[in-house]
Structure 1
Amino acid sequence: MDKLSFLNGIAWIAVFVSMLLAFFLFTVKTQNKLANRLFAFFFILSAIDLSGFFFYEFIDGQFDLEVFRWTTCLLGMPLFYLFVLAVCYSDFRLQWKHLWHLFPFLAVNLIFVPRFYLAGEVEKIQFFRIHNQMPEMLIFRSIVEFQYVYYIVGVFLILKKYKKLYLENYANTGFSTYMWLFQMATVFLIAHIIVVLKTLLRYTDLNETFLWANVLVGSIALLITCWFIMKALNHPELFRGINSKLKLTKDILPEGEIKSETANSQNGVISAQIETLRQYMTEKEPYLDPSLTIQELANQINIPVRDLSVLINHHIDQHFFDFVNEYRIQKAMSILKNPSKKELTVLEILYEVGFNSKSSFNTSFKKYTNLTPTAYRNS
């Protein structure tokens, strides 16, 4: 089997797997249908892009269709960007303003109109023969790269804000949404860098290397798609988002209060609130609920959620996530040192104190005690 046949085989498999994953996302039962549909369309576009390795076998002179297929790659990153928003924020909805994400796709197709779409068949054949040197193609590829940088930076900024909001308002120790999306964005970034390096070979005399680079890119695309399928099967609900109307503590503090942190922390009212909060955490143990949020805690102790957020994240100077987990770890330490509960396994203890992940429990425990739970029990 030569390199082209091998590449075609990989491309066929990758297209099939991408369409299979898209079908799964369209049909799986979940509350976050918008995120699933956006991700499904993303994989349909990926399948269209990967079909370029064998698409030429079927079009037979349909040059317009091939160029249009090229330009569909400009819809991929906007879909991924909107998908990330839909996963991170449970109240995210598509609006008319989101149509502006179509602008690069429409603009590039307009660029091809004068000298390609409206040209005769002979001119189109000539265009294809030297398309790598055509200014339209250079403009197209430049727009693709600028667009990719814009959206990948946008995705990482969304995740950065999401992480801060999550830590300040939630205590669920799984933290799976952020990790999953961050891994996905990182994989896309690495894959795109490889594609860019492969494309640069097109403008050199290394034709043999270019073919092998195509094989590598096709193989990577197949592996990434299979990885997504494994993730989707393990997490069919595609995670729970947070409320986009949440604000970071630094955004709700009165101007000037940040600069007077030491003075405010001495305030008698604030000190009394902190004492009341700590007493409630010790006596009522709300942290045993693995899905505890700052909103729920605020309702329990009858403090406005805005004030509680400032109290914990600003005056106590801890993220809500760390504040709650500290009580969970202290509870776990007391159980581990209790001779009457020595029959309890570490797994049973972590669930008892409000954790829902062994890796999260071990990480938090070691951060707090510099020991693993087992080592602490035996010390």
Structure 2
Amino acid sequence: MLPLIPTLAALATFLAVLMGAFLMLVPSRMRLANIALALFLLATAVDISGWFMGDWWAANPSIDQFRVAIAFAQMPLFTGYIWLNCFHREAIHPRDALHFLPAVATLAAVAADVSLPYLRALFELQYAAYMALAIYALWRVRSAMTEHYTGSSANWNWLAVIVACSLVAHTLFVVRTVFAAGLHAELLQPLQTTATCLVLAITVLFALQAMLNPGLFRTQDRLLASVSNPADNHSQGEQDQRLLAFMEEHRPYLDPDLSLDRLARRSGVTAKEISVLINQRHGVHFFDFINRYRIEHAKRLLVETDQTVTEILFASGFNAKSSFNSAFRKHASTTPSMFRKENGTK
């Protein structure tokens, strides 16, 4: 029977390499982010290979020194993936190379046989700093989404999940490392097994997401894109104000045959822009957006006139009583008759 920990580590390494190759090759508008994640997975594969190739690494110390240096490249790559998703960029900058100075310095020190007594502490400090940057990026984007939009972002949720997984996995490794000397073998072995299983589970999660939700790695989330580009966000805000002003002034919702294309022609805002505005800024679909205005108009007529409900539904832009009643319940949480009874006719 194969030892459990080396077997699980080998499976995790294989999946990480496979996923890294996939991200390198898949056509995507998120090319830079995918490359950062692919390199992170490959660096992780090299790191955890020590769990089942320890003897080989020990027999080749000149190569093993690269593994030590690669460990310092993991967090810049991981946080780079988070930032490139949250704040889209088309190219890397020369200053980005500064993030890999610790890895280069470590490699140079190990190659020169310089003693590094605080190497583990430096690694933990680096992890904490880059994890704080990743969490800050998610918080900043989430705050902007909450302020300007309704709805949720699948990409943001995915980024939050992998950050949480990283925190849990790293905490286990820290506990295992710090308390290894004082723990009995009966406790140390389950802890090591749990940590290895978690690494495998995370790599499986990446693979499943690639298969079940490939859009995460192929296109940028529109909500994240809007938040990450202030210029586009400002332009979209102006378009939204223009659309709302048109709705109030010209009342196109009273047209029973109003469509997205017809509203676009009348308002001067393209159909695609209207669709994005309604979805991202108001969190509804086109007809829900229009029906909100129609129901508000109907409510005014119910209170201010003595027209019948049937007359009001046609005057508000509806074609059928059933659709009017359904929309009224959805947006007013009552029926037209009950609303009139509760508010009275002036």
Smaller-chain TM-score range?
0.5 to 0.7
Q: 1:249 to 1:331 in 2, by over 3 A?
A: closer
The Cα shift of 1:46 comes to 1.2
The 1-side partners of 2:161 and 2:96 are apart by 25
2:189 alignment partner, one of 173, 196, 211:
211
Q: Which amino acid aligns with 1:56?
A: G
Q: Share of identical aligned residues, percent? A: 19
- Equivalent residue for 2:95? 97
Cα-to-partner distance string for 1:305-342 (whole Å, 9 max, x where unaligned): xxxxxxx9xxxxxx99454549875657769xx75349
Partner residue of 2:322? Answer: 340
State the partner residue of 1:140. Answer: 119
Residue number in structure 1 paired with 2:201: 223
What whole-Å deviation, never above 9, does each CA across 1:139-183 have from its counterpart, x for those lacking one? 111111111111111111112222344456667x45111111111
Q: How much does 1:54 deviate?
A: 1.4
Query: Where does 1:71-150 land on structure 2 (aligned, <5 Å)?
Result: 71-113=69-111, 116=113, 136-137=116-117, 139-150=118-129
- Aligned positions of 1:171-320 closer than 5 A: 173=151, 175-237=153-215, 238=217, 239-240=219-220, 242=225, 244-246=228-230, 276=245, 278-279=247-248, 283=252, 300=269
Q: How many angstroms apart in 1 are the aligned matches of 2:18 and 2:9? A: 14
Letter in 2 for 1:150: A
Unpaired segments ≥5 residues, structure 2: 235-240, 261-266, 271-276, 296-316, 335-346
Deviation at 1:111, TM superposition (A): 4.0
CA distance in structure 2 between the aligned counterparts of 1:89 and 1:280, rounded to whole angstroms: 37
2:29 partner SS: coil
Runs of 4+ in 1 over 6 A off after TM superposition: 247-250, 272-275, 332-335, 368-371
* Alignment RMSD: 4.2
Bigger-Rg structure (1/2): 2
Q: Give the equivalent residue in structure 2 for 1:161.
A: 140
Distance 2:103 2:178 in 1: 22
1:359 corresponding residue in structure 2? none
Unaligned runs of 5+ in 1: 118-134, 251-271, 290-297, 302-311, 313-318, 350-364, 372-379
Once residues 250 and 155 of structure 2 are traced to their aligned partners in structure 1, the CA distance between those partners, rounded to angstroms, is: 27
Q: Normalising by the residue count of structure 2, what TM-score does the alignment of the two structures yield?
A: 0.67
Counterpart CA distance in 2 for 1:91 and 1:170 is 22
Name the residue aligned to 1:69.
67
> 1-side partners of 2:249 and 2:269: how far apart?
9
State the number of aligned residues.
Answer: 281
Whole-angstrom distance in 2 between the partners of 1:90 and 1:280: 37
Greater relative CO (CA pairs within 8 A, separation 6+): 1
Q: Is structure 2 residue 11 aligned with structure 1 residue 34?
A: no
* Contact persistence 1:85–1:92 (CA under 8 A): no
Equivalent-residue separation in structure 2 for 1:209 and 1:26 (angstroms): 39
CA 1:80–1:328 in 2, change beyond 3 Å: closer, same or farther? Answer: farther
Cα distance in structure 2, aligned partners of 1:61 and 1:277: 75
Partner of 2:340: none
Give the Cα–Cα distance (whole angstroms) in 2 for the partners of residues 39 and 299 of structure 1.
Answer: 42
Cα contact 2:176–2:191 (8 A) shared by 1: yes
TM-score (norm 1): 0.62
Instruction: Give the 3 Å change call, closer, same or farther, for CA 60–330 of structure 1 in structure 2.
Output: closer
